[in-house]
Amino acid sequence: MRRLALEAGDRIMEIYDADDFGVRAKADESPVTEADEAADEIISAGLTAAFPGVPLVTEEQAASHDLAAETFLIVDPLDGTKEFVNRRGDFTVNIAYVENGEPMRGLVYAPARQRMFYTTADGRAVEEAGPFDKCTIGERRPISVGEPDNDSLMVVASKSHRDAATDDYIGKYNVRDMTSAGSSLKFCLVATGEADLYPRLGRTMEWDTAAGQAVLRAAGGRVVRFDTHEPLTYGKAGHANPFFIAHAPGVTLQVP
């Protein structure tokens, strides 16, 4: 997963650094670029070869199948396409393995930010320091969620999908400060203790969240449904997520 993410990241950055690149709208009106498709091709080919027989779901190929399974690989080759198009840097490569409906392994790589987070074979969450070599793993540090103070919370929210409903919900908490981030980096900021709470009251798909949820889970955090506070699960028909809340366990969640 690590090597494939780095290979995809190199291709993404080649396109990102070009003078111009094409952007078109998919059927759901979300943007897609040459970088999305090139990264998808690299990762899909690599995972299919490495994990023969394991079902694979990717954002760019989702229209060709509607897998409803409990165990599978799931990929968002370029999460945060709006950040990519606007050259804001907060886009990520996301690869995850879901087992029995729960993201067990995951990798989030932000090539423009040179940050990489992933789960290890022994169940830990780590951040690897760059520069990154495809064949040799660099220095890694374990990451874990912080110990939040419910009278002084740090909140992270979407950079491109912020709305009044999200602000109203955040207003139920005692917030020390807020930051904005794009793509699945928001999960990773909670995983490292840089934030305590990330609520998402908007449309997401399973490929948007699986890798980040795996990293946060391994770091001691949780991702729950907004309406019931039950764990967010995977393998749903159509792959659409309900609204959710990602948080450090010490946060006292407010009712919707």
DSSP for 27-96, please give it.
TTS-EEEHHHHHHHHHHHHHHHHHSTTS-EEEGGGGGG-----SSEEEEEEEE-HHHHHTT----EEEEE
Q: What is the pLDDT of residues 218-237, one digit of tens each?
A: 999 999 999 999 999 999 88
Contact, 231 vs 223, CB < 8 A?
Answer: yes
| C-alpha gyration radius of the chain | 17
Asked whether residue 133 falls in the same domain as residue 11, the answer is yes
- Are both 8 and 109 inside the same structural domain? yes
The answer to whether 221 and 254 have CB atoms below 8 angstroms apart is no
pLDDT more than 70, % of the chain: 92
Residue 256 lies in a domain: no
Together in a domain, 49 and 161: no
Contact 168, 189 (CB under 8 A): no
Residue 193's H or E segment, with its range, is none
181, 107: one domain: no
Q: Where does a domain end: 142, 177, 200?
A: 142
Q: Are residues 39 and 124 located together in one domain of the fold?
A: yes
Q: Does 255 map to a domain?
A: no
Residues 146 and 193: beta-carbon distance below 8 Å: yes
Is the same domain home to 25 and 126? yes
121, 35: one domain: yes
Check whether residue 15 and residue 108 sit in a common domain: yes
How far from chain centre, in Å, is Cα 248?
16
CATH code of 12's domain: 3.30.540.10
Domain count, the chain: 2
- Global model pTM greater than 0.95: no
Q: How many angstroms separate the CA atoms of 161 and 159, rounded?
A: 6
Indicate whether 209 belongs to any domain. yes
> 188-227: per-residue pLDDT in tens?
999 999 999 999 999 999 999 999 999 999 999 999 999 9
Q: Which domain holds residue 174?
A: 153-247
pLDDT greater than 90 at residue 110: yes
**Parallel/antiparallel/unpaired status of strands 23-25 and 31-33:** antiparallel
Residue 50 has pLDDT above 80, yes or no: yes
